[in-house]
Amino acid sequence: MKDLSVLCGDALGLMTPLLLAAIGGLFTELAGMLNIALEGLITIGAFAAAAAVHAVSASPHFPAAGNGAAAVIALVAGSLAGGMVALGYGIGSQRLKANEFVAGLATNLLATGIVVALADRLLGNKGVVSLAIPGLARPLERTLGNMPFLGELLFRQDILTYASWFLVIVASFVITKSTFGLRLRASGSNPGALATLGRNPKRYRLVAVVLSGLACGLAGAALTVSLSAYVPDMSAGRGWIALVAIYLGGKKAGGVLAACFVFAFAESLSNYAQGVLRVPSDFILALPYAITLAALIGGAAWKRLRGGQIR
Amino acid sequence: MKAPARAALTARLLGFGVAIVGAALLAILLLWGLSSSFSASLELFFLGPFRNAWYFGNMLAEASVLVLAGLGAAVAFGSRNFNLGGEGQVYAGAIAAAAILLGLPTASPPLGIGLALLGSALAGAALAWFSGRLKLSLGVDELISSFLASAIFVYLGGFLISGPLQDPSSNFQSTASIAPAFRLARLFPPSNLSTAAFASLFALGLAMFLSKRTRLGFEFGLVGRNAEFARYAGIDTGFYVTAPMALSGALYGLAGAFLLLGTQYKAMKGFTSGIGWSGIAVALVAGNSPSAILPSALLFAYLDTGAKAVMIGSDVTGDIVSVIQATVFFLVTARAADGLFGTRASRLRAGGKKAR
Amino acid sequence: MPSVSMKGISKYYGASSILANDCADLLVRDGEIHAIVGENGAGKSTLMKILYGLERPDSGRINLGGREVHVRSPAEAALLGIGMVQQHAEIVDEFSAAENVVLCAEPRRFGFVLDRRAARARFAGLAADNGFSLDPDALGSGLSVGERQELEILKLLYRKAQVLVLDEPTAVLAEEEVFSLFATLRRLAASGRTIIIITHKVREVRAIADSVTVMRHGKTLSRLAAGDVGEEELATLMMGGQSFAPALRTPRRPRPEDVSVVFEAQDLRYVLRGAARPAVDGVSFSLRRGEVLGICALAGNGLAELEDLATGFRRPSSGRVLLDGRRLPRRRGKAIGYVPQDRLRRGASLHSSVQENLAALDRDAFFPHGIRSVHRMVSFAEAAIRGYDIAATPEQRLGSLSGGSIQKVILARELNGNADFLVFSNPTWGLDIASTEFVYERILAARERGAAILLVSSSLDEVLALSDRVGVMSRGRLAGIEENGPTLDRAHLGKAMLGAGHAVDSRRAHAGRGLAMGRKP
């Protein structure tokens, strides 16, 4: 029982970057885009966060390390960088008539390349770089953290995790209740409906892309902040997993949340397994992909079954 | 009468030109920003690949692997199957070839090489076929499933290399080298260019013949352009999901095998990295047309070799190449993509006025 | 108040400088229903797109209510009170009817929150005022073609449109839905709105319009009072000389040698995945050599599914489809000639050349031993282009051809094998009179050589013009098949198409008087 609450609590923490990316991707998905650039946008966000903190802490004007401002700088920088790259991707795919899929691949390639090329320059190292980012505040830990079960599960999370949950609620509200959400969904479902009403559906797509970039950038920054370090290939497939989470979650914020939790739980379980069982690390690293693939297949099979026999 | 076709070709060549000029400008900009000796690194980047036999031969060697990978991607994309698992399939091919040749060190070279090629093709094909099958029977998006399956295999392959196949006498995570008898003859020493290049050219010629002159290629094209029409015309469309995926995987697998047989001689952890993605870029820039694969592969090999020359000869990291390649890729396809993938779908997605 | 006048409108297209409108003039008085008629490509749509701001004229002036206006975009047109219903309704399937109507002009709370209750209320008020019975909560995906069109009209009314332009609104409607639409248009005109309707069906002009403008080759020829002009006269004006009236073909008595059954459907049922009731329900018929069986139905009554079942595109849930006494092959071969309703997607590969499209069916012949015979492909294409009078070259991309030419390419391919069994689904949908006549000739020629022909169509006119026997479908069931002929009761068929207890019955019953319209001499 105790183990389960720890496992789930860890999962909730690990879920944060995945959830942020998936919620961002949900906007582009609803706008009718196949956004495979999520992975690259997370990579950019993680790197930009690291670069910003690295630059600031090298500066004499910045107070000694350990300041909470470092985390804020990282998150803002990561998010903005993700948003900017996404804007480029959006302009490329929506304005310059590049195929979305191709532009998405190009964005991923570009992100990988630019990050490695700049890491040497800006971080002084192509490998792991540790950064002076203190751990994020855990606002409820002191008051509620010792509650049995729930304490470990819910109340020892950091502030960013709570913020990501709040963002899910906000996103869900925007999508289902706001006029912007209505038009966004129209741009995905039937762009012609917007066009005949004199609105450009591409504009809503562009906004969705930028939102996804901001969210993925934030997700990448969250990775950097949670490790207090920059590691090459930090995203490690989270963008793709987020994409699957959007499908499995039925393109609804609540469903996406549930799907993300399943993946995060798998990750937490594999971390646990690594500590307890002596499994080769390659298997552990493959596990998130394997579970995602299994979920994808299982989800499709279930849909087939439930839909009854075909033909 | 052929005016529209000619106009399309002109537009395409123009797009190609814009992309190359854009990429060159970007390269200049990057080198200017990143290098302390700008003019020297500029010269290395643009002229390095032609400076000596080593660079030039390596460029051709790389192009020959990219031709296979590019064909692999084109086979899938041309029939509208999005195989994103090239990375894993190249890796699988290389490891299968290594395992076979290390397991049969005394086999006669033709038999050993033949078995290695067969094994690598089968390994890559199986990995890709799996995604095609899933698409057909469960409707799982092959784009994502092939990526995931490939990502899983990249780690499994890493495990094989550093576990069961690990060379005990080495400190690196790599297999032992294959017996010298299996190594393909070098054409242009000291460079890596080997007889593998002939295999690539043969594959290219075969692909061109199949696509232009045969019923198989005709049906393949019909499925790729409009699957519902193909089904209406009585074509077995299911076959054209699994078969192109398997063929695509087989070509990727062969790319991995030739990398092993012609260049590396042993499989190291992560040694094929990037070929899968480069193959996609090569195919998309070539518009999935076999006849354009060769120039496209040469272009990417040239950029990569230039970047290597810069990396070796100056203080700039060679990773700028992926930035430049991504730019080429993007600029070319930004103009050409409309014709490659269903214009209908993209027009519908793009919204606006529907064509009457 | 909202009279429309357009003077001297000219519009060139592209580098080829095709003159789509050539000094066209249009005058529509307020509260009038005005029809613009002309053949395909006469410039009707272009003129209306200019009025709606989708296209900019190269010259000419537009006056609205006596004031000169410049319409630069649909948004500006909306502000001026001009609205246009395109041929294909742009409805968001996932949205409710009310959400579709308020989209982009939503009632809000706090400036950004959609006020769903207000949207429903506004919708209900608007629908009640104008005699619509749409449910505000009905999902777009569940609406029939006619209801989607009503929703489009509601969208315009919600935006306070005073001038309503409808681009061939009846092209996508079945006969019964047309009457309902016309009743709606009369109500709207009576409440002071000006209505312009584009059509190429001369009969409709007399049924609905007060006045009519005839267009040909981009020019406006004359403005007439609809009551003063006969159908023949209008057709002559449109065609420029030759007149055309769809003749009723005499049904054929099967010759003794023709009586063998070619095609048989036995108790076909087809249940779509997750559907509550079968789309095709217990349909049986047989088809003999040398006859045309025409089956007519409203959209959504199983006609599309029947087309798929008869050609093997879908497998029946139960029942059998027999061709020459055997089950249909898994993949269609040359034994079935099939001209599908969805020509552009199913029937053609728009990105392939004309010759490749022509060679797509009989691949055995064009690829001996699996290798392409360039000679056979080109010579067949050239023969088809000559024989079917197709304006194209063998190498031309099919997508660059006109709709009529594409249909001719499909016909050339499907009729080439002299298949014993032919299926035509809405074969003249959207074609102009000349192309329609051409298609009819080919269908009847195939009948003459002894083919068994299944014609499925949502146009009762078409079915009656071509068929030897006629059946109608309603809610997936096939009503009794009858011999075609002058004694056939058209009104009875119309009622059968609606079916007993059909949900839309009550609403459409009042339009029944219009049934006589089709038989006007």
Give tens-digit pLDDT for A116-147.
Answer: 878 877 777 777 877 777 777 777 777 777 77
Mark yes or no for CB contact B354/C88 under 8 Å: yes
Which regions of chain C are under pLDDT 70? 1-2, 13-18, 40-41, 172, 239-258, 274-276, 299-300, 498-521
The per-residue b/e assignment along C172-198, b for 16 or more CB within 10 angstroms, e otherwise, is bbbbbbbbbbbbbbeebbeeebbbbbb
User: Would you list the domain boundaries of chain B?
Assistant: 3-348
Instruction: Choose among A107, A114, A289: nearest Cβ to B152.
Output: A289
Long-range contacts at B238-243 (CB < 8 A, ≥ 24 apart) = B238/B136, B240/B79, B241/B79, B241/B81, B241/B132, B241/B135, B241/B136, B241/B142, B242/B129, B242/B132, B242/B133, B242/B136, B243/B132
Instruction: Chain C: give the shortest CA distance to residue A310, in Å.
Output: 6
Closest CA to C185 of C210, C215, C158: C210
Residues of B in contact with C345 (CB under 8 A): 226, 228-229, 344
Residue of C nearest to A306 (CA): C274
Residue B251's pLDDT band (boundaries 50, 70, 90)?
A: very high
Mean pLDDT of A190-215: 89
CA–CA distance, C220 with C155 (Å, rounded to integer): 30
Cβ neighbourhood burial of A69 (10 Å; 0-12, 13-18, 19+): middle
Instruction: Please judge whether A183 and C315 are an interchain contact, meaning their C-beta atoms are less than 8 angstroms apart.
Output: no
Which CATH number fits the domain that encloses residue C11?
Answer: 3.40.50.300
Domain limit, last residue, from C418, C446, C469: C418
Query: What's the token pair of residue C118?
Result: 């207000």
Tokens of A294: 């299994």
Is C10 contained in some domain?
yes
C357: domain range?
Answer: 342-418
Helix, strand, or coil (residue C284): strand
CA angle A305, A307, A311 (to 5 degrees): 95
Element housing C269 (H / E):
strand C261-270
What pLDDT score does B353 carry? 30
Using DSSP bridges, classify how beta strands A229-230 and A129-130 pair: parallel, antiparallel or unpaired. antiparallel
CA distance B343 to chain A (A): 10
Q: Which residue of C333, C346, C372 is in closest CB contact with B218?
A: C372
With CB atoms and an 8 Å threshold, state whether A102 touches B138: no
Distance from C487 to chain B by nearest Cα, in Å?
A: 38
In a domain, C279, yes or no: no
Chain C residues with CB under 8 Å of B234 CB are 331-333, 361
- Position A309 pLDDT exceeds 50: no
Minimal-distance CA residue of chain B relative to C337: B233
Beta bridge partners of C455: C294, C424
User: Which residue reads 């299911």 in tokens?
Assistant: B238
How many contacts, defined by CB atoms under 8 Å, are there between A and B?
159
Task: Tell me the shortest Cα–Cα distance from B183 to chain A, in angstroms.
Answer: 29
Strand C452-457 to C421-425 pairing = parallel
- In CATH terms, the fold of domain A2-306 is ABC transporter involved in vitamin B12 uptake, BtuC (1.10.3470)
C5, burial (CB in 10 Å: exposed 0-12, middle 13-18, buried 19+): middle
Alpha helices in C43-158 (DSSP H): 44-51, 74-79, 97-102, 116-130, 145-158
**Helix pair angle (B290-313, B53-78), 10° resolution:** 140
Please name which of C331, A161, C35, C310 lies closest in space to residue B219, comparing C-alpha atoms: C331
How far is residue C295's CA from residue C276's CA, in Å, rounded to a whole number?
A: 24
CA–CA gap between residue C23 and residue B2 (Å, rounded): 33
Report the alpha-carbon distance of residue C359 to residue C367 in Å, rounded: 9
E-strand ranges in chain B read none
Phi and psi at residue C32, in whole multiples of 5°? -105, 150
**C144 CB-near residues (< 8 Å, 6+ apart):** C177, C298, C299, C300, C504
- The label of the residue with tokens 């906000």 reads A170
Residue C257: the pLDDT is: 61
Tell me: the pLDDT tens digits for B189-220? 888 888 888 999 999 999 999 988 999 999 99
Question: Chain B within 8 Å of A114 (Cβ-Cβ)?
Answer: yes
Q: Are C101 and C119 in contact (CB under 8 A)?
A: yes
The C-alpha of C316 sits at a distance from chain A's nearest C-alpha, in angstroms, of 8
Contact between B329 and A187 using a beta-carbon 8 Å cutoff:
no
Separation in Å, CA of B340 to nearest CA in chain C: 10
Domain finish residue from C418, C434, C453: C418
Does this model's pTM top 0.90? no
Nearest to C396 by CA among C350, C359, C348, C354: C354
Average pLDDT over residues A224-253: 87
Contact B233/C351, CB-based, under 8 Å? Answer: no
pLDDT at A197 over 50: yes
pLDDT digits (tens, 9 = 90+) for A243-299: 889 988 888 899 999 999 988 888 888 777 777 777 787 887 787 788 888 888 988
C391, C393, C398, C401: CA torsion to nearest 10: -20
Answer yes or no: is pLDDT of B131 > 80.
yes
Q: Does A285 touch chain C (CB under 8 A)?
A: no
**What pLDDT was estimated at residue C35?**
93
CB-based contact, A308 to chain C, within 8 Å: yes
Give residue C510's pLDDT: 35
Establish whether this prediction's ipTM goes over 0.85.
no
Q: How far is CA A101 from the centre of its chain?
A: 19
Q: How far is C20 from chain B (nearest CA, A)?
A: 14
Residue C335, in any domain of the structure:
no
Give the mean pLDDT of B177-188: 85
- Planar angle of CA B3, B5, B7, nearest 5 degrees: 65
Are C50 and C163 members of one domain? yes
Residue contact B232–C340, C-beta within 8 A: yes
Contact A114 B323 (CB under 8 A): yes
**The residue to which tokens 């819910």 are assigned:** A154
A contact residues 241-300, partner B, Cβ 8 Å cutoff: 243-244, 247, 280, 282-283, 285-286, 289-290, 292-293, 296-297, 300
Q: How many helices (H) and strands (E) does chain C have?
A: 17, 23
pLDDT, mean over chain A: 83
Closest alpha carbon within chain C to B209: C371
Q: Coil, strand or helix: which one is A274? A: helix
CB nearest to B236's CB, from C331, C350, C356: C331
Q: Place A64 in a pLDDT band, splitting at 50, 70 and 90.
A: low
Give dist(CA B5, CA B49) in Å, integer. Answer: 35
CB spacing of B212 vs C372 below 8 angstroms: yes
Please state, in angstroms and rounded to a whole number, the distance separating the CA atoms of residues B148 and B127.
11
Which band of pLDDT confidence, cut at 50, 70 and 90, is reported for residue B347?
very low
Kindly report the number of other CB atoms within 10 A of residue B289's CB atom.
Answer: 17
Domain contains C74: yes
Cα of A205 to nearest chain C Cα, Å: 15
Rounded CA-CA distance C134/C123 in Å is 9
Residue A209 · residue A24 · CB < 8 Å: no
Chain B residues touching residue A245 (CB < 8 angstroms): none
Query: Min CA distance, C107 vs chain A (Å)?
Result: 9
CB contact under 8 A, B218 and C363: yes
Paired strand residues for A45: none
Residue of B214, B228, B232 lying closest to C370 (CB–CB): B214
Return the structure tokens found at C74: 């649909």
d(CA B300, CA B278) in angstroms, rounded, equals 8
Subunits close to C (at least 3 CB pairs below 8 A): A, B
Domain stops at, among C387, C418, C449? C418
Report the residue of chain C nearest A186, measured CA to CA.
C92
Q: Best of B9, B213, B215 to disrupt the C interface by mutation (most C CBs within 10 Å)?
A: B215
**Bridge pairing between strands C452-457 and C4-13:** unpaired
Q: Reading across the β-sheet that carries C211-216, which strands appear in turn?
A: C82-85, C163-167, C194-199, C33-37, C211-216, C219-225
- Pick the residue from chain A with its C-alpha nearest to B30: A117
Residue with tokens 């000389």: C241
The domain segmentation of chain A, as residue ranges, is 2-306
What's the total number of domains in chain C? 2
C301, part of any domain: no
Instruction: Work out the pLDDT band at B334, boundaries 50, 70, 90.
Output: low
Measured CA to CA, the distance from residue B75 to residue B52 in angstroms comes to: 34
Which pLDDT score is estimated for B289?
86
B13-27, B282-296, C364-378, C394-408: the lowest-pLDDT one = B13-27
Of A90-104, A209-223, B265-279, minimum mean pLDDT range: A90-104
Contact between C360 and B1 using a beta-carbon 8 Å cutoff: no
Phi, psi of C320 (to 5 degrees): -130, 145
Architecture of the domain defined by B3-348: Orthogonal Bundle (1.10)
Helix, strand, coil % (nearest 5) of chain C? 35, 25, 40
User: What pLDDT score does C484 carry?
Assistant: 83
Q: Kindly list the residues from chain C whose CB atom is less than 8 angstroms away from the CB atom of residue B344.
A: 345, 350
> Is the pLDDT reported for residue B355 higher than 60?
no
Return left, alpha or beta for C82; rule: phi > 0 is left, psi -120 to 50 is alpha, else beta.
Answer: beta
Residue in this structure with the two tokens 């139905």, named with its chain if needed: C297
Q: Residue A193 corresponds to which amino acid?
A: A
> For the CA atoms of chain C, what is the radius of gyration?
24
Interface check C350 vs A, CB under 8 A: no
Inspect the interface and report whether the beta carbons of C90 and A307 lie closer than 8 Å.
no
| DSSP letter (8 states) at residue B259 | I
Q: Residues C420, C451: contact at Cβ < 8 Å? A: yes
Contact B151, B145 (CB under 8 A): no
